[in-house]
Every structure is written in structure tokens, then in C-alpha cells.
Amino acid sequence: MTEKKYFGTDGIRGEVGGKVMTAEFALRLGRAAGVVLGKLSPSNNILIGKDTRISGYMLESALEAGLASAGTNCQLLGPMPTPAVAWMTSSMHASAGIVISASHNPFYDNGIKFFDNNGEKLSDEMELAIEKELEREFITVSSELLGKASRIDDAAGRYIEFCKSTFPRQQSLAGLKIVVDCANGATYHIAPQVFSELGADVTVVANKPDGLNINQDCGSTEPQILQEKVLETGADLGIALDGDGDRVLMIDHYGKVIDGDQLIFIVAKHLHKNKKLNGGVVGTLMSNQAMQVGLESLGIEFKRADVGDRYVHQLLKKHDWHLGGESSGHILNLDLATTGDGIVSALMVLVVMKNEGKSLKDLAEELPLYPQVLINITIENAKSLARHPELVNHALEIDKKLANKGRTLIRASGTQPMLRVMVEAQDEKLAMNYAKELENTVKNL
């Protein structure tokens, strides 16, 4: 397959004012997307949502102009979570959806990602078609064929109702005290309403975006403020979303972080017990070995995809399974949504708590994670070194010693000149020793 020039694992991303995150590039990208994606449905209409970064205004306007020049209509949703754009693209029978967001990155980065008319991430072929169109001359259609732009004022309300619809109608969150961290991002005006309208007593933090504070010392990547607030308020749990609302981590009432692997296990075990788990579960190369062992002990098949929620989605579709995700908190349940959805994922866990009558702490303790040691080694030839026979054989020897009580993983970073060496073991000291051994092998090579 032809190598992509602009698209990474989740759309196009970079520093604002750099090579791609400019008004000029967004204008050309909008036209190219209009040409390629506009024809995916008779509506010839593309939705645009964004997170709360200050650069979103600039990129939104440029994309809108580019789409219009290709003769494609667009509807502006304003600040909306990534999964909301995916859902609305499908429910409104739009040709495609565009999200302006760099997810959990700081404000000075931004990104542009796409959904097809089914509300799913684009195929490699579709992304390559957009890149090919980007290389063509910028041509504007004749005036009578220009696209029009409009705004959907009730987008947030529609999505709030969708999120609530994924929670059992006969149940309520009454009696639960929850702290919600909106990461000063796209869920700031949505998540608090969802949980409070379902009956919870909600305290909110990081819900005052100013264009510059998205993900800053808050959200799923920096949950310290949330942990403190859960303890301070005596809450039952905390919910940490990221800047664009597609991932979630949770905090138990002792202030401990419950990661994506544990959340997926909690939901999978409950669905399996009630004969509602369709097939097995998909994780990634980074998923904790304890989750695989735990699921398989329950008779649940587990498969690993490459790192990235789009690869989890592809493997789920291939096997016609529904549940999967990443330890970072990207959780997919294709029964409920076409992409990772932080709010919906949190509601899945809350359903289990209600049905089992257990605290989040008790549920999470059913899967004690293996200690994981990760060493990042900055090096230029990371990709070739990751495949070096001496390093591969050393890792295999360690895997054999650990058996199913741990594992090794050596992979080159997709974004930096870096080799990542990871070892999991039931004993943290053992994991550290093996990781150091592999690090020394890398240095010797």
C-alpha cells in the first residue's frame, strides 16, 4: 500500500502554524475532502465539530471555505466531543463528519480527523484518495454550484439525549456522588448534564475552557486534581475525560486510578455473565497481560490489535465482536457507538456497579494488573533495531521464563525517534530487572 504523507493513526495532527495545521492547508484539505467524501451520501453534506482550542475557529473557517469551493454543504456543530460528531454523522445521514481536535494533546497542537457516512473512521483507501486530491490544482466550482454552510444550534442537546439512551431506562444514578473532570474540553457543556439528568449528585472540575487550558493539569492524562476532589468531597467515584471526549479513566473512592484495561474487564465480565457479550474482547499490544489472563480464565477470547483505536475497531469488525479498547481509556462497544466514547463508556461501568451492587474499587480489584516497566530509549534507527535478531531472541528468552505470568514488548514509536522497551511481570522487581537487561542489549547493539 502507498505510504500516507499526511494521515497518521488518527487523522492529521501537528503544531498550529507548523507544516499542516495552517489555514491554507485546512482550506485545501476541505476542498479535497469535499470532492472525495461529499459523494458518500445523496445529502452532499459534511458536519464539522471541534474541541475548545483557540485554533479551532481558524481551522473551522478554512475547512468550511474549502468544502464550499468543492460544492459541498457543511453544518457546523460548534464544540462537540469526537464521538458526538460520529453519531450525528450517521443519524443525520450526512456524507461525512470532520472533527477539529488533537485529543489529549496541549492547546498549541491541533488535528483534523474524519468519519465516513456510517460514523466510522476512514479506510486507508479513503485517506489516500484525499491525499491524492490534495496534490491536484485548487479549483472552485461555478457560483451556482457552491456549497452552503449552516449551524446546528441544538447539537449538544441531541447528543445528551443519545448518551442517556444508552443507560437502562428502568435504572437511575440516584444515590451516587460523582466528580466529573471535563479536561476543559469538548464535553464541558455535555458530560455534567448527562450524569446529573440520570440522577447522580455531580461535582464538576475543569469545565471552564478558555481556548488555552484544554488538557492542562486535568483530564484523563493528568487526573491528580480529580483524585483530590474525589477524596475532598467523599464522592463514590470520579470520571476523567480527555479533551475531545473519546476516552475515559475512572477514580475509585480511595482516589486510585482505574485504567482502560480494568474498565474493559469490568464490563466484559458482566456482559459475559449475563450472556450479552458478543464474541470476545480486543485489546492492543499495550494491554496488560493480566487482562488477557483474567478474560481467558472466564472463557472469553482475547485478541491484540496494533496500538490505536482504529486498529481495535478493525479487528472487532473482522471478528464481528463488539467490545474492545486501550489501557489509555479508548473503549469501544459497537453495540452502542461506532467509535470510542468516554461518556458512554463511563455509563457502561456505572450500569455494572448498579447491577452488581458493588463499588468501583471492589469491581476493579477483581483484576489486579501486573506491574509494568516501560523504558523509552531515544535512538534514530528504532524501527530496524526493534527487529534485530539479538534483541528479538533476548525478548523471547524472557517471555519463555515469564510464561503466562508476564511478557515483553519492544516497539518503535510511531511519532518520535524512540524505542520502547516494556516488561510486565507479577513481581515488579523482576519486571524491572528484565527491562534493564533488554535496555543493556539495545545499548550494546
Catalytic residue numbers read 103
Question: Using an 8 Å Cβ cutoff, are 160 and 194 in contact?
Answer: yes
Alpha-carbon distance of 16 to 72, in angstroms, equals 25
Q: Please report which helix (H) or strand (E) contains residue 355, including its range.
A: helix 342-356
User: How many Cβ atoms sit within 10 Å of the Cβ of residue 398?
Assistant: 21
Question: Using an 8 Å Cβ cutoff, are 98 and 37 in contact?
Answer: no
Alpha-carbon distance of 281 to 292, in angstroms, equals 9
What would the grid cell of residue 392 be?
A: 528479538
CA separation (Å) from 29 to 5, 80, 188, 270? 13, 21, 28, 44
Question: Using an 8 Å Cβ cutoff, are 107 and 54 in contact?
Answer: yes
What would the grid cell of residue 342 be?
A: 468516554
- Apex CA 329: angle with CA 128 and CA 225, to 5°? 125
Burial of 224 (0-12, 13-18, 19+ CB in 10 A): exposed
Q: What is the dihedral of CA 363, 364, 370, 371, to 10 degrees?
A: -160
Strands, sheet with 237-241, edge to edge from the N-terminal-most edge strand = 201-205, 177-181, 237-241, 248-251, 257-258
Q: Name the maximum alpha-carbon separation found in the chain.
A: 70
